[in-house]
Structure 1
Amino acid sequence: MNKNSIGERNLSTIGQQAFRLNERANGEPLRVLSEADWRFWRENGYIVIKKAVDAEQADRLQKLMWEFEELDPADPSTWYPPLKSQLRKTELSFNAGMIELYNHQYLWDARQTPRVHQAFADVWGTEKLWVSIDRMNFNLPPEPGFVFKSFMHWDYDPDTDPQNVQGVLAVNDQLDEEVGGFVCVPELYRNYAEWRREQPDNWDWYRPDVSQFQFVNVYLEKGDLLIFNSKLCHGIRQNKSKDKVRLAQYISMMPAQEGNQALRDWRIRSWSERLAPEGYSLHGDPRNWEQTKYRRAVLTALGEKLLGLSPWQE
């Protein structure tokens, strides 16, 4: 699977480069972002939406994550079962703590929260969006004999000028320096073209040497939503604590492709049958808990549009 293109990373998302991010050429009004937020977003390539979901929603997600992983939040000795310890040593997704849960009601509740949608509408310049069908993440403390070491990277080849945004919803507070969290390089975002001209022909965009730049740590409170431009080089700081966990849900949105019937049908089937997306590094849950243990998520009118079940009206 080619990891260079947006559509091949996760088939629930866009597969073309026809869309452009909002530039507000005519000073169009904002919905959630302030003017100061907008300037920060344009200059740094990321923005934090405070209290994008309420604390109760985040708490439900947190409880679900522990339940789905069959771990006891009060007992760190349960956090490293043998099977998952082995997977973490061989699969990057498990190294980073990916949780193979995609269509649970609580995930959809976050996706169809109006404030979340309106924030993405600001960065795209349209309310007619589809939401990604993505998963959650545990960033655990180091286990004996193995440590996941963070690295700075892009998720898409930046030379392709990806018109895409990514999002991380904080399921718990991420203010403790020890617990790790999102780190990025806004200086490189602003000066990419100049820096790129100096790179060798065989440079690796997934493992670039960006050590000459200043890294910026982004701290989030429970319920905050981080949105970042896919052209922003980023990583996850290593969890160096003994008994603390960073919890997150990945949420992004992109302009709806209502003319792409095959993609629309696939998205609806993923929601209806609780299927994991197909794409680079997406594995699914071998226990099939989404099909056997959880019900189909109930969607609001907004949620139906964000999925593609209902059309956006002209």
Structure 2
Amino acid sequence: MMQQNTPVEMANKAHAEIPGNPSTATSSKIKLNDRSNGKPLRVLTEEDWAFWIENGYIVIKNAVPREQAKATADFIWEFDEKDPNNSETWYAPARAEMKMKELTGTGMVEVYNHQHLWNNRQTQRVYDAFVDIWGTEKLWVTIDRANLNMPQRPGENKKGFIHWDYDPETRPQNVQGVLALADQTDENMGGFQCIPWLYRNYDTWKLTQPEDRDHFQPDVTGLEDKIVKVKLEAGDLLIFNSTQPHGIRPNKSGDKVRIAQYISMMPAEEDNEEMRQWR
């Protein structure tokens, strides 16, 4: 009898299709923390937890020291061969072609392994935040890239787009994370945006959509006033549920650059030999 793969097994084998560096599975066999283990929270407060459950994202303040965030930002500028004090260098072509064409021009920096990046991934407060989210200490960290989102030049009118990285119909048990490496408190300077309303109301919203709708890029017509622009300061970590529709908003500041590192964690899969070898 032919063995059928479960949705989770199929998702785990599909890790190589994840944009960026496919260092973890698309969905965990372990469900996100429901607090039934009785363990106290390490970083999140009870107020934070309630916000996380209601809105599908949470900001961990000062997840890494500001000096550490700045050192990482300085490295990313250097790696991308751009000068933060000379805007004429900001718009050179990307050093690597994007697999997701929608990400072209969004400032993705194809750098994955450097001590500065690993310093942030191994910071205790970052780890403890993900322990709270997952309810387990046995975690693997994603080996992901960075972002330099430059301000649009005069005449440019790029629009940010809202998307899911995983089809929400598969109910992925996963989270994603963004570490701010510079202050992102100006709403005009780009950065993370999401729609908590759609996160909460997905099941009823989808009933109003056509059968052939895009499962990765929702039609947000009529939801514009529900888009939340999340403000971050250098060193803050944003964690969001993978069923949260999200995106990078356009940078219309004129002179400010959004700098970030993508960091997430999910339960380790020591029995997934293929994944272990890949890592």
TM-score, normalization: structure 2? 0.88
Distance in 1 between residues matched to 2:81 and 2:197, nearest whole Å:
41
What does 1:69-148 correspond to in 2, within 5 Å? 69-81=80-92, 83-84=93-94, 91-143=101-153, 146-148=156-158
Write the distance in 1 (CA, Å) between the matches of 2:95 and 2:67. 31
Task: From the superposition, tell whether residues 178 and 147 of structure 1 become closer, same or farther in structure 2 (CA, over 3 Å).
Answer: same
Counterpart amino acid of 2:103?
S
3-state SS of 2:83 partner: coil
Q: Which amino acid aligns with 2:261?
A: Q
Q: Which of 174, 177, 186 matches 2:184? A: 174
Answer yes or no: is 1:67 the counterpart of 2:78. yes
- The corresponding residue for 2:160 is 150
Q: Deviations over 1:119-148 (max 9, x none)?
A: 001010001100000000011111356543
SS in 2 for 1:177: coil
**CA apart distance, 1:68:** 0.6
Contact 1:184 1:216 in 2 (8 A): yes
Structure 1, gaps ≥5 residues long: 268-314
| AA at the equivalent of 1:12 | S
Instruction: Return the offset for 1:157.
Output: 0.4
Q: CA RMSD in A?
A: 2.1
1:131–1:253 CA contact under 8 A, matched in 2: yes
Residue 261 of structure 1: how far off its partner (Å): 2.3
AA aligned to 1:164 is N
- 1:270 is matched with none
Please name the residue that 2:64 is paired with: 53
Alpha-carbon separation, structure 2, partners of 1:21 and 1:252: 13
Give the superposition deviation at 1:11.
Answer: 2.5
Residue equivalent to 2:4: none
Question: Which segment is superposed worse, 172-181 or 145-154?
Answer: 145-154
User: Are the counterparts in 2 of residues 96 and 148 from structure 1 also a CA contact under 8 Å?
Assistant: no
Range 237-246 or range 24-33, more displaced: 24-33
Which whole-Å deviations, capped at 9, do the CAs of 1:219-255 have from their partners, x for residues lacking one?
0010000000000111221100222100000000000
Within 2, Cα distance between the matches of 1:57 and 1:110?
8
Residue deviations 1:133-177, cap 9 Å, x none? 000001111135654320111111000001100000000000012
Task: Look up the SS of the partner of 2:68 in the other structure.
Answer: helix
Corresponding residue of 1:283 = none
CA–CA distance in 1 between the matches of 2:245 and 2:268? 26
One-letter identity of the residue aligned with 1:242 = G
Q: Which runs of 5+ in 2 are unaligned?
A: 1-9
Quick one: distance in 2 between partners of 1:148 and 1:61?
27
Work out the CA distance in 1 between the residues paired with 2:27 and 2:95: 37
Measured at CA, do residues 163 and 69 of structure 1 come closer, stay the same or move farther in structure 2, by a change above 3 Å? Answer: same
Distance 1:197 1:261 in 2: 40
Q: Percent identical across equivalent pairs? A: 57
Counterpart of 2:203, as a letter, is: A
Q: Distance in 2 between matches of 1:86 and 1:12?
A: 19
Other structure's SS at 1:197 match? helix
SS for the counterpart of 2:208 is coil
Runs of 4+ residues over 3 Å off in structure 1: 83-88, 90-94, 143-148
> Is 1:223 the counterpart of 2:221 in the alignment?
no
CA distance in 2, matches of 1:42, 1:27: 17
Q: Which residue of 2 aligns with 1:290?
A: none
User: Does residue 237 in structure 1 map to residue 236 in structure 2?
Assistant: no
Q: Give the whole-Å Cα distance in 2 for the aligned partners of 1:105 and 1:48.
A: 24
TM-score scaled by length of structure 1: 0.79
- Contact 2:184 2:231 (C-alpha < 8 Å) held by counterparts: yes
Q: How does 1:164-203 map to 2 (within 5 A)?
A: 164-203=174-213
110-119 or 208-217, larger mean C-alpha shift = 208-217
> Are the aligned partners of 1:66 and 1:72 in contact in 2 as well (CA < 8 Å)?
yes
User: Structure 2: how far apart are the matches of 1:131 and 1:228?
Assistant: 15
Which secondary structure does the structure 1 equivalent of 2:23 belong to?
coil
Would the aligned equivalents of 2:27 and 2:174 in 1 still touch at CA under 8 Å? Answer: no
In 2: Cα distance, 1:16 partner to 1:26 partner: 21
> Is the partner of 1:181 in helix, strand or coil?
strand
